[in-house]
A and B are shown apart, each in its own frame.
Chain A
Amino acid sequence: MLDFSFISLLARSSLLSIFPIGSRTFIFDQIFFIFLLLGTIVGIVVISYMVIQAYRYREDSTRKKDDIDRPKLGELPPQEDDGNKLLKSLLLSAVVVIALVVWTYGSLLYVEAQPSQIDDALTIGVEAYQFGFLFTYPDGYQSTGVLRAPVDRVTVLKITSRDVLHNFGSPDLRIKADAAPGQVSETWFLAESTGTYDSACYELCGAGHSYMLAEIIILEESEFEQWNKTKNNGN
């Protein structure tokens, strides 16, 4: 096994964090923006270059005959090869791609390490089934279809499935984890503002898949505590 504890320590030290850390929404938005920016630039540069070269070297009756050696029918491909320009371009693209992915790796380590680092995290069990989600709170209280959690506090989710493979995801909170029968996968989120967020199943699981939804209601800490105390009476 490789030892990652050193790097994940690095990931957690704010001094050295050149990669984004914070809520999952923040991390995703930062990294996605940089990828989108660079991806767009690279795409435009490469495709423009292609189109310009294709236009520049188009067959044109006004173009003078050149003496470039063209492919001939029945020839064997010549063995001499100029791979120089090719390898330089490859090197350039390799540097960009590798740098980008390595940069995101620190954030990955942070995200992966987070649940075990937090003391006051709220841990909620999520059991997916055809076709809904059952949420179990630390005191054993269960609810279907609605998950309540406090704002500005890390919530750890332990996700499993009762039947087939599902996937619990919430786009606004950037939660996503497979729910597999017989396994528990762990993930976490940190909501930075109160409100109601959507979540849904992201793995085709049967006829009701399109409507396998749940709400995540994020409350102020005090409101959450209030609800937490009374939830067993009301329901």
Chain B
Amino acid sequence: MNKLLQTDGGHSDEHGLPPMSSIKRWLVTTNHKDVGILYIVTSLFFLVMGGVLALLIRLQLWLPRAPGEGLLSAFAYNQSVTAHGLIMVFWFLSPFAFGFANYIVPIQIGAKDLAFPRLNALSYWLYLISGILLGVSFFQGGTFNGGWTVYAPLNLPAFTPQVGATSAILALLIFSVAITAGSVNFLTTIHRMRAKGMTLMNMPLFTWTILLTVWMMLFAFAALLAALMILSSDRILGTTYFSTTGTQGSLLWTHLFWFFGHPEVYIVFFPALGAMAEIFQTFTGRRIVGRKWFIAALVLVTVQSFVVWMHHMFLTGINLEIKTIIMITTIGISLPFDLMVFSLIYTLVKGRIQFTTPFLFAFGGLVLFIIGGITGVFLGAVILDYEFRGTYWVVAHFHYVMVGGVTGLVAAIYYWFPKITGRMYDEFLGKVNFVLYFIGFNLLYFPLFIAWETPRRVFTYAPSLIPWHQMATIGGFILALSFVVMLYNFFISLSNGEEVGNSPWEYASTMEWALSSPPPLENWDGVPTYENGELEFIPEKIATDGGEITHE
């Protein structure tokens, strides 16, 4: 890092934007870092919303209930499981990850902002509006209550006549528009606006995972958007694409939904994987083992993610030949993940591992993902899948994977907290957070494997399974408590945390750590370049003149 021109931490040029303490700033901003913060904060609100619904579900499952017993009516229970799934997958996980993508990707690749800052702000505001609409839908006769998969023909007004159900579908539609606009923005930025010398292969792994995520989003959300437009037409205009009188409506929806739905699993998991890779490198003091293989595996998963969707339909009207092909592609997609897991594990070897909070979460996230992956192989064997279909085995497996991903993103928020706020979080509280989180997570989800014979989305189950479900409910509250600790930690650290310089981490290597914390509005003076094999900031004049850079 010699010859590195440090950027000026006291940079006060805010380009006429109101200061960060004023509300107006957050309404008019188009700056990628501001929008990133908006995404992170908003998505945490949705985490709380989805989390409260989850706790309601767990309370209802404390005992097997007769109709009308417990906190929730049957109708309220169905709304809860549906909205919990939708909120966590759509309104929490991806936007949380894209908060980091907004903030970090431009300053990892040397772009002043995203390619289309106003479009970026529009994406955020559409996201917020769609989320508010979903919240409102609860009060319009009840929100959608047919499961997050929105299967046809239950998704038609004949079966879900509530106005709120239509609002929820429209909310999803607006959300898909926001995502599509966002993916175009990121694609342009990452492909066209990298610093000199920052080739695709040189990109930091977090940026790599975001690039591949937005490529998947571009195609997957197009399918969802199309399906939602047809469905909205059915619900509002009275067309009959998914109508009950037709024979194939349910099958059509299932195909369209899972063509989106399976890539969606990787869409929500990839950013966490990228963050975990960065965090492993920083806190082990080792560069990732087999970096190019890691990237190749990511690319392979991205492509393969579009040819496995029918494994969600092994019992849904597809023939043996297609089942066989999908079984092969499904097993095929697990192998690149094996490689990535090994790659992360071997990165530990010969490291100088610092057990900071971000590392603990990244390490824990990997453990959880391994368990999720192994139990996923069970589902890849069609003969076992037949019996696991619609049971808590599926619930437990995908929570290990998806919430395993959340674990990686919690690691990410601790990792980048000093960069975004300029202050250090409280390490002790961070470790308390991790211990509560890890215990709560496993107490919540592991018993669900043991109680796997419970059918999904019901609140009656065999009395012999009561202890396991009660254990899970207790685990759910411990997990919730761990998030309270996290939010408290961030809240007090915002004012009391020790101020950090450019980088509090000894072995951080990516560009964002060469900037002050938080970076100034336009990130740096001059132009960042890797042309000479390492990061330099050269004065703008020389760069735009195209003149030779002189080194003394």
Contact status of A35 and B381, CB under 8 A, knowing A101-B331, A164-B159, A165-B152: yes
Residue interface mask A86-103, B partner, CB < 8 A = 1:
110110011001101100
CB contacts (< 8 Å) of A182 on chain B: these are: 246-250
CB contacts (< 8 Å) of A183 on chain B: these are: 247-248, 250-251, 317
Contact status of A53 and B153, CB under 8 A, knowing A39-B374, A75-B534: no
User: What is the CA–CA distance of A58 and B511 in the complex, to the nearest angstrom?
Assistant: 26
User: In chain B between 138 and 188, which residues have their CB closer than 8 angstroms to a CB of chain A?
Assistant: 145-147, 151-154, 159
Residue interface mask A103-115, B partner, CB < 8 A = 1:
0110111011000
Partner-contacting stretch, out of B277-285, B422-430, B541-549? B277-285
Contact status of A97 and B247, CB under 8 A, knowing A39-B374, A39-B377: no
> Chain A binding site: helix, strand, loop or mixed by DSSP?
mixed
Cross-interface CB contact of A57 among B248, B284, B381, cutoff 8 Å? B284
Q: How many residues of A contact B (CB 8 A)?
A: 82
Cross-interface CB contact of B353 among A59, A93, A163, A177, cutoff 8 Å? A59
Residue interface mask B511-536, A partner, CB < 8 A = 1:
10110000000000000001001111
CB contacts (< 8 Å) of A94 on chain B: these are: 335, 338
Nearest CB in chain A to that of B359: its residue = A54
- Is the pair B530, A76 in contact by a Cβ cutoff of 8 Å? yes
Closest CB of chain A to B487's CB: distance in Å? Answer: 28
User: What is the CA–CA distance of A74 and B43 in the complex, to the nearest angstrom?
Assistant: 31
CB contacts (< 8 Å) of A49 on chain B: these are: 345
**Number of A-B pairs, beta carbon distance below 8 Å:** 280
Nearest CB in chain A to that of B503: its residue = A73
A229 is an interface residue with CB less than 8 A from chain B = no
Residue interface mask A162-181, B partner, CB < 8 A = 1:
01110101010010111011
Partner-contacting stretch, out of A64-72, A117-125, A132-140, A219-227? A64-72
Contact status of A101 and B381, CB under 8 A, knowing A1-B321, A74-B534: yes
The 3 A-B pairs with the shortest beta carbon distances in the complex, nearest first, are: A182-B247, A202-B390, A74-B535
B interface residues with partner A (beta carbon < 8 Å): 1, 4, 65, 67, 74-75, 77-78, 81-82, 145-147, 151-154, 159, 197-198, 201-202, 244, 246-251, 281-282, 284-287, 289-293, 315-317, 320-321, 323-324, 327, 331, 334-335, 338-339, 341-343, 345-346, 348-355, 363, 366-367, 370-371, 374-375, 377-378, 380-384, 386-387, 389-391, 453, 455-460, 503, 506-509, 511, 513-514, 530, 533-536
A-B contact pairs, 6 of them (CB 8 A): A31-B384, A71-B286, A73-B513, A74-B1, A74-B514, A183-B317
